[in-house]
């Protein structure tokens, strides 16, 4: 893999990790806020852990597709400019 094409791997990994971490952070914040509203008896720390785990896993499932689409969109824009 030459240097010209290796930036796509870094770009893909960036969006992959950003999606997973973003999902985990959303779960970390939302589960403790909305868990008690739905009658859950867990502590806020348990809600935060469960939220990060569950929403992070859902983001893990979607992350490769999102990263791939963003790479294709960027390649298309780059090709249109040149």
For residue range 11-30, list pLDDT tens digits in order: 999 999 999 999 999 999 99
For position 1, what pLDDT does the model report? 52
The two tokens of residue 35 are 């868990």
- Does residue 2 carry a pLDDT above 80? no
pTM to 2 decimals?
0.84
Sign for the CA dihedral angle at 34, 40, 43, 46 comes to: negative
Residue reference for tokens 């791997």: 9
For residue range 37-58, list pLDDT tens digits in order: 888 888 999 999 999 999 999 9
Mean pLDDT of the chain: 91
């Amino acid at each position: 893999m030459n240097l010209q094409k290796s930036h796509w791997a870094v770009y893909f990994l960036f969006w992959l990790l950003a999606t997973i971490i973003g999902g985990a952070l959303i779960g970390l914040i939302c589960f403790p806020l909305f868990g008690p509203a739905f009658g859950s008896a867990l502590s806020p720390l348990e809600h935060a852990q469960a939220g990060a785990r569950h929403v992070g896993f859902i983001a893990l499932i979607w992350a490769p597709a999102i990263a791939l689409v963003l790479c294709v969109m960027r390649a298309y824009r780059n090709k249109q400019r040149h």
